[in-house]
Structure 1
Amino acid sequence: MTGVLRFLPGVLLSAGVGALAFGAQALEARLIGRAWVEALVLAILIGAALRLVWTPSETWRPGIRLSARTLLEIAVALLGATISGAAVVALGPWLLVAIVAVVALALIGAYALGRLLGLPPAMALLVACGNAICGNSAIAAVAPVIRAEGEDVAAAIGFTAVLGIAVVLLVPVVGALMGFDALKTGALAGLTVYAVPQVLAAAAPAGAAAIQLGAIVKLVRVLTLGPVCLILALLGPERFGGPAPAGRPPLHHLAPWFIVVFLILTALRSAGAIPEAVLPPLQITVTALTLMAMAALGLSVDPQAVVRAGPRTAATAALSAVLIGALALIAILLLPLPAAGPGQSAL
């Protein structure tokens, strides 16, 4: 019980920030007639603002970490039950080809940018993988494969956490400026946002269809992590400045548990094994958990992360984000995505 109670302060704090964000959204809708900034985005901003003026002590950190990671992963896993596998087939092969092409070009381009800016090979690769695939998860998965130094991993993760929030905040703005409908906004979120659960926050302003398509697109991006790790393992860490391999990378890095559960629940939904009556409360649960996770993410951001990462790493990460954003926009403008009507889910 003592072990469980140590998580309580941070979890309650994350829930409180999430509730404040939900209340701010309701107030926003009442005052101006529409919630232009969704609760999920407000939770990140409120949490980051609080973190800027107050550093949580060890009393709060375990629960914040639990909310930012475990609750976030649970939300992603449960989201699989709301997505039908038929949607992936209905979108056709072009979207899948575009996703793989964007990941490959972003990975190669970001690595080249890092090397041009003078980053060591391992650091350039960590930033490239984090940008092209799935942020911190990709960095954590690739690091043991290339035997990256702990300092490089910490710097890459620190900056990705800050830049990832900026991407989440920019996606709805760019989608609105480009005149994108729900599906195109969801595709933009799925192609550019770093972490899987943050897709929910980035796509939320465009509605349920955007969230669902964004989750599918992002899932395909995450699934490229396995082949990338295998290719890097075959190339060998010595190509990136690491020592010669003494063994193979852990297999669990190639298949995160929440992605496995996501796929299982998607398969069950596609087979009709999940009743429709379960979906509304399940979606509410996913939203609540994600709201807490986004609040915890904001509370976890280190304001000095950009400074510690160094100007070359910062420049590489920022330019890489611009690169994948440009590639995503080109892909979306060329893709034959169908239009979803107002309030209509495309899936």
Structure 2
Amino acid sequence: MSKQMSGLKSGSRDAGTGLARRRSRPVSFELLPGLVLCVVGALLAMGVARLLGTVSPLLVAIVLGALLSNLVSLPARLQPGLTFSAKRLLRLGIALLGLQLMFSDILGLGWGVIAVVVAIVSLGIVGTMFAGKLLGLTWTQCILIACGFSICGAAAVAAVDGVVDAKEEELLTAIALVVIFGTLMIPTIPLLSGMFGLDEMTAGMWAGGSIHEVAQVIAAGGALGGAALGVAAIVKLARVLMLAPVIAILSVRQRKLSDSSSTGGSRPPLVPLFVLGFVACAGLRSADVVPESVLDLAKLLQSALLTAAMFALGVGVRIAMLKKVGARPFILAALSTLWVATIALVGVLLVS
């Protein structure tokens, strides 16, 4: 009898061990359905963007994801992979974005234009935060919109969220606002540049200093002319480079809040790993040690990663949620767009 009981216990342990292995093993498989959906969404978005020519695959991915989630009821098993894509793939894509930057190109703008870029980002964030406070929005909602509109759009929004840990609806609202207002800026800047009588170089600097997404800047710069396109892209990438110090400052703030909190909690890193990766990639590109073939492959991979991440974020954008947040975030987005564009215009006119 004792031997039988011992055998049963042994069998139970074996069964328990087997069950534990089966439970631990599928963790990566839990990500698979959502990851596959994001890969398909990214491929579709990149194909559509290629056909249309001047549209960013990131923006197409956000729209496709939003359409899918609002038209179809998605199963819960997709969520782990969607979350992984929206966080991990996004951070890797941001790190690789540094390979598009060359410090020499940015220094070639001259110290006057560099000072204007710093003013656009710093004053843009401060002004947006002030307006958001007057509107009664939360600090996290304000900082997401402020950084997205002042630095580099949806990628900046998601990068900041990785440090400040905003609510999901605040993150998704900021992403949606970047798409809406950044897209409206594509025809607006060329139109206003013509009305103001700006030459191509000045108009290009204005586009690069005021429009939210890199791809949106490229679209507007292309409409302004060849000379405008080149300078617009470099000015915009100078704004992208400001992502690193801004994230570092926000991380220090969060660490101080964590230290002073009575509940304790985990402290964020002084500088997030993906920001260090971003700076390291920019350094490698600037040192000219990366072969052109590797740069081409890295650019494709970076675009694919960010597109997949934006598709995942787009899935979370629901019309009911945007209705729920009300008009105040939209008002702040409009004010921030006008504020950043005004700073950029005054700045480029002063240095031109």
TM-score (norm 2): 0.71
Residues 93, 314 of structure 1: CA spacing in aligned structure 2 closer, same or farther, 3 A cutoff?
same
Aligned to 2:325: 309
Aligned to 2:14: none
Aligned to 1:105: 123
Q: 2:242 aligns with which of 202, 213, 220?
A: 220
Aligned to 1:340: none
Aligned to 2:35: 11
1:20 maps to a residue whose letter is L
**Distance of 2:349 and 2:159 partners within structure 1:** 29
What secondary structure sits across from 2:77 in the alignment?
coil
1:62 equivalent to 2:80? Answer: yes
Alignment of 1:251-266 (within 5 A): 251-252=268-269, 254-266=270-282
What secondary structure sits across from 1:76 in the alignment?
helix
**Distance of 1:57 and 1:79 partners within structure 2:** 32
Residues 219, 183 of structure 1: CA spacing in aligned structure 2 closer, same or farther, 3 A cutoff?
farther
Residues 40, 24 of structure 1: CA spacing in aligned structure 2 closer, same or farther, 3 A cutoff?
same
Aligned to 1:47: 65
Aligned to 1:342: none
Residues 127, 94 of structure 1: CA spacing in aligned structure 2 closer, same or farther, 3 A cutoff?
same
1:2 equivalent to 2:16? Answer: no
Residues 100, 26 of structure 1: CA spacing in aligned structure 2 closer, same or farther, 3 A cutoff?
closer
Task: Using the TM superposition, give the Cα deviation of residue 260 of structure 1 relative to its aligned residue in structure 2, in angstroms.
Answer: 0.8
1:37 equivalent to 2:49? Answer: no
Residues 298, 6 of structure 1: CA spacing in aligned structure 2 closer, same or farther, 3 A cutoff?
same
Alignment of 1:66-77 (within 5 A): 66-77=84-95
**Distance of 2:261 and 2:302 partners within structure 1:** 40
1:274 equivalent to 2:286? Answer: no
Task: Using the TM superposition, give the Cα deviation of residue 202 of structure 1 relative to its aligned residue in structure 2, in angstroms.
Answer: 2.7
Q: Contact 1:107/1:129 (CA < 8 Å) preserved in 2?
A: yes
1:172 equivalent to 2:186? Answer: yes
1:156 equivalent to 2:180? Answer: no
Q: Which segments of 5 or more consecutive residues in structure 2 lack a partner in the other structure?
A: 1-24, 223-228
**Distance of 2:26 and 2:202 partners within structure 1:** 46
RMSD over equivalenced CA pairs, Å = 3.8
Q: Which segments of 5 or more consecutive residues in structure 1 lack a partner in the other structure?
A: 29-34, 144-149, 194-198, 337-347
What secondary structure sits across from 1:16 in the alignment?
helix
**Distance of 1:181 and 1:12 partners within structure 2:** 43
2:340 maps to a residue whose letter is I
TM-score (norm 1): 0.72
Task: Using the TM superposition, give the Cα deviation of residue 324 of structure 1 relative to its aligned residue in structure 2, in angstroms.
Answer: 2.2
Task: Map Cα deviations across residues 196-231 of structure 1 (whole Å, 9 max, x no partner).
Answer: xxx34434535795556533322214423434665x
Which has the larger helix fraction? 2
**Distance of 1:313 and 1:191 partners within structure 2:** 19
Aligned to 2:19: none
**Distance of 2:94 and 2:26 partners within structure 1:** 28
Task: Using the TM superposition, give the Cα deviation of residue 261 of structure 1 relative to its aligned residue in structure 2, in angstroms.
Answer: 0.9
Task: Map Cα deviations across residues 19-76 of structure 1 (whole Å, 9 max, x no partner).
Answer: 2233334544xxxxxx243434322222222222124332112222222332222222
1:16 maps to a residue whose letter is V
Task: Using the TM superposition, give the Cα deviation of residue 184 of structure 1 relative to its aligned residue in structure 2, in angstroms.
Answer: 6.1
Aligned to 2:267: 250
State, as a whole percentage, how many aligned pairs show the same letter: 27
Residues 15, 310 of structure 1: CA spacing in aligned structure 2 closer, same or farther, 3 A cutoff?
same
1:264 maps to a residue whose letter is A
**Distance of 1:286 and 1:140 partners within structure 2:** 18
**Distance of 1:130 and 1:213 partners within structure 2:** 16
Aligned to 2:347: 331
**Distance of 1:186 and 1:156 partners within structure 2:** 31
**Distance of 1:76 and 1:121 partners within structure 2:** 24
Residues 172, 119 of structure 1: CA spacing in aligned structure 2 closer, same or farther, 3 A cutoff?
closer
Task: Using the TM superposition, give the Cα deviation of residue 163 of structure 1 relative to its aligned residue in structure 2, in angstroms.
Answer: 0.8
**Distance of 1:123 and 1:72 partners within structure 2:** 20
Task: Using the TM superposition, give the Cα deviation of residue 262 of structure 1 relative to its aligned residue in structure 2, in angstroms.
Answer: 1.6
1:61 maps to a residue whose letter is Q
Residues 251, 11 of structure 1: CA spacing in aligned structure 2 closer, same or farther, 3 A cutoff?
closer
**Distance of 2:312 and 2:206 partners within structure 1:** 25
